[in-house]
Structure 1
Amino acid sequence: MIESWRWYGPDLDALSLPEIAQTGASGIVTALHEIAYGEIWPREAVAARRAQLEKAGFHWKVVESLPIHERIKRGEGDLGPLFANYRQSMANLAAEGVTTICYNFMPVLDWTRTDLAHPLPRGGSCLRFEAYRMAAFEIHMLGREAAEDAYDAPTRARAASWFQSASEGERDALLQAIMAGLPGAFDRYDIAGLRQQIALYDGIGPDEIRRNFKRFLDEVIPAAEDLGLRFAVHPDDPPRDILGLPRVVSDAEDIAWILTAHDSPANGLTLCTGSLGANPANDLPAIARRFADSIHFAHLRNVVKDADGSFEEAAHLEGDTDMVAVIAVLLEEEARRRALGRGDAAIPFRPDHGHVLLDDVDRAAFPGYPLIGRMRGLAELRGVIAALRAQGRADV
């Protein structure tokens, strides 16, 4: 398995490449966040980022993400130019040695949390999704029609109580936490702006999203095959509809649909144990085993779930997901690929959404992406991998 580290680039990330080098990771997972959605990533810009990483001693094999324009997700207007731009960006990435594109098809928002600094019992903080606070946001702050139908009576009652007692600062902090799920340097919305974005999806349900998703795959996967690229869809986070927007990458059956919508080795999965792990019905070792041959990239993190649908980021080996079992499946899949003589047998992975610990508090890192918390996670995952190999549970 290839130890990797997500980096937002020299203009956005609080961490420097020399600092990241001390974690032991060999690969950087990054993107050109400064380029607007739908625009071509120039080969010169891709080459400059690659050269910067290589000079610091890293390789760049995985892009996270090459964003999909919202109009493609909505199936809106003449999409030919957007698809052409996307394919040209793919070609420019492939020409500079990138092999894997991690992407998602979540409307408007990526990951969603209600608290960016939830205190931990022994110090530090984590990301948390609190069901009643999300309900308060949707019902009382956003005023979304039909939002009450998405929550049970106890959750609605707690939401109303919180909203009535919350200060303006607390309500603004909730909005900012939810907006933090927008990637990179993308503009954040106020309440009016978010309502406007959601309204653009009026009348678009799961069937329409899947139809638009399939069109995207049909437009890009043949090009990926020609370029030697592999696509790896990231699951919904959390794995449920958010703000009334349909999400279609939340469980095993969703993944199966995507992989068969355009049947190709280039059409694959980013196994995110945290995103999928927030759904109590998802068995992560079973999902990893079922789709092992389609896993092109992995995000390894853990969550602890509550009965009301709330969850928070756990230490990598302490949550509800059996991380040892998941890693064992990935190692077995790598061994299978090596036995077939595949040159791309190794699966890149990265520790995801670490806790804010110690000196992390004083850094202005992206939420979920501190230095020490992720380094702790990487060290723990590295230990699991070493132990499994030593026990002979993977053919190395």
Structure 2
Amino acid sequence: MQMTFRWYGEGNDSITLKQIRQIPGVKGVVWALHDVPVGEVWLAGRIEEVVNQASEYGLNTEVVESVNIHEDIKLGLPTRDKYIEAYKETLKNLSKFGVKCVCYNFMPVFDWFRTDLFKEAEDGSTALFFDAKKVLSLTPEEVVKNMEENAKDFTLPGWEPERLKDLKSLFAQYKNISEADLLANLTYFLKEICPVAEECGIKMAIHPDDPPFSIFGLPRIVKNKEDIGRLLDAVDSPSNGLTFCSGSLGGNINNDLIDIARTFTDRIPFAHIRNVKHFGDGSFIETSHNVEDGSLPITGIVNALYENGFDGYIRPDHGRHIWDEVCRPGYGLYDRALGIMYLLGAWHTNALLKE
């Protein structure tokens, strides 16, 4: 297992590589070229810049999150092939610099979704919050406007602002796209991509839908154990894998996260681990990694991965905003560093017990 930490790049993150290097146990950064428009090839020169920046601090760059998927691929439009070819070129360029895992998602319109970015908790910290009632009472445009206005001048992770300027048109394109259609379009993409990924020694690791249920009527195809199994079976390739994200899958309290982790360990090259607390109306808030603070079996998940021989990458996922830190929503330094200590403690406890 290798512990990593997500970093948004020089000039685009409140956290420095020097600070990341000082977190015990962290071996690499999870990164991306966030300024490259979706669908364009990531050039070798730009990739090398980031690799060199991280290597100065002894950190590797083996995991990329994310090389975003162009919406035309998700929609299955005739133009998808040119974007798939560009994706292949990006994978080839990444492989030249030792990248071994690419996290991506296939969520329509929104990369992820919350209604509040800085919801205050009982202890005075703030965190990302999904208000089930608010989603029902507001339009997509209203919720997106609220998120963008409250991001504290930071870009929202994974979002493509240009794409969201005309939500009505984008939603109209998905009006007749079923879950079966979306899965077929993903399968088409993977059948094209996986042979190249295999040649490059790269594992493609799809991120679950966040949240793992339909919002505003959009199709969702990576919501639960059944969906994951169907997807992994659709393209039989060692490069067709899963990013196990406890916070995303844990958005549905009915998902058995320990069972999912145990069942698919050999197809999980990358894991995001975070805790969430559920409320009776379907809302949830992100909490500390401490199992007692949320509703998810965090230590049980770590145990399941360890017991089944997980040898991929882990990063602490979204953290709270604590100690008056000003940071990108969900991606501060302090609570994620605390989360790493919690996760390493759980992992090393398994190792000691095995001895």
Shorter-chain TM-score category?
over 0.9
Inter-CA distance 138–172: structure 2 relative to 1 (3 Å threshold)? closer
Distance (Å, rounded) in 1 between the aligned partners of 2:180 and 2:145: 34
Partner of 1:153: none
Shift of residue 200, structure 1, vs aligned partner: 2.1
Partner of 1:373: 335
Partner of 1:187: 161
Letter in 2 for 1:333: N
Identity level (%): 39
Distance (Å, rounded) in 1 between the aligned partners of 2:80 and 2:144: 38
Where 1:258 maps in the other structure, the secondary structure is helix
Distance (Å, rounded) in 1 between the aligned partners of 2:191 and 2:162: 31
- Give the alignment partner of residue 278 of structure 1, picking from 222, 226, 251: 251
Q: Compute the TM-score of the two structures, normalised by the length of structure 1.
A: 0.84
Inter-CA distance 324–185: structure 2 relative to 1 (3 Å threshold)? closer
Shift of residue 174, structure 1, vs aligned partner: 5.3
Inter-CA distance 172–81: structure 2 relative to 1 (3 Å threshold)? closer
> Is residue 207–residue 245 contact of structure 2 (8 Å, CA) maintained in 1?
yes
Letter in 2 for 1:8: Y
Inter-CA distance 122–228: structure 2 relative to 1 (3 Å threshold)? same
> Is residue 288–residue 326 contact of structure 1 (8 Å, CA) maintained in 2?
yes
Distance (Å, rounded) in 2 between the aligned partners of 1:299 and 1:176: 27
> Is residue 156–residue 329 contact of structure 2 (8 Å, CA) maintained in 1?
no
After superposition, what is the alpha-carbon deviation per residue over 1:186-213, rounded to whole angstroms, capped at 9, x for unaligned?
32677x7222221221211111101101
Shift of residue 227, structure 1, vs aligned partner: 1.2
- Give the alignment partner of residue 243 of structure 1, picking from 168, 192, 216: 216
Structure 2 unmatched ranges of 5 or more? none
Partner of 2:124: 123
Shift of residue 138, structure 1, vs aligned partner: 2.9
Letter in 2 for 1:96: F
Distance (Å, rounded) in 2 between the aligned partners of 1:181 and 1:16: 17
2:319 counterpart of 1:354:
yes
Inter-CA distance 172–65: structure 2 relative to 1 (3 Å threshold)? closer
Partner of 2:297: 322
> Is residue 148–residue 156 contact of structure 2 (8 Å, CA) maintained in 1?
no
Shift of residue 304, structure 1, vs aligned partner: 1.1
Q: How many residues align?
A: 351
Letter in 2 for 1:186: E
Letter in 1 for 2:8: Y
Shift of residue 357, structure 1, vs aligned partner: 0.4
Partner of 1:20: 20
Distance (Å, rounded) in 2 between the aligned partners of 1:186 and 1:251: 26
Shift of residue 175, structure 1, vs aligned partner: 6.3
Distance (Å, rounded) in 2 between the aligned partners of 1:264 and 1:10: 35
* TM-align CA RMSD: 2.2
Shift of residue 181, structure 1, vs aligned partner: 9.1
Letter in 2 for 1:71: D
Partner of 1:391: 353
Inter-CA distance 212–10: structure 2 relative to 1 (3 Å threshold)? same
After superposition, what is the alpha-carbon deviation per residue over 1:144-189, rounded to whole angstroms, capped at 9, x for unaligned?
xxxxxxxxxxxxxxxxxxxxxxxxxx995356469x9953573267
Partner of 1:132: 133
Distance (Å, rounded) in 1 between the aligned partners of 2:80 and 2:145: 36
Shift of residue 382, structure 1, vs aligned partner: 1.4
Structure 1 unmatched ranges of 5 or more? 143-169, 335-344
Shift of residue 42, structure 1, vs aligned partner: 0.6
Partner of 1:45: 46
Where 1:369 maps in the other structure, the secondary structure is coil
> Is residue 359–residue 372 contact of structure 1 (8 Å, CA) maintained in 2?
no
After superposition, what is the alpha-carbon deviation per residue over 1:34-84, rounded to whole angstroms, capped at 9, x for unaligned?
101110001111112111110121001110001100000001123221111
Where 1:391 maps in the other structure, the secondary structure is helix
Q: Compute the TM-score of the two structures, normalised by the length of structure 2.
A: 0.93
Inter-CA distance 177–254: structure 2 relative to 1 (3 Å threshold)? farther
Shift of residue 370, structure 1, vs aligned partner: 0.6
Distance (Å, rounded) in 2 between the aligned partners of 1:80 and 1:370: 38
Which shifted more, 45-54 or 314-323? 314-323
Where 2:269 maps in the other structure, the secondary structure is strand
Where 2:199 maps in the other structure, the secondary structure is helix
Name which one, 1 or 2, has greater alpha-carbon Rg: 1
Which shifted more, 302-311 or 226-235? 302-311
Distance (Å, rounded) in 1 between the aligned partners of 2:307 and 2:155: 33
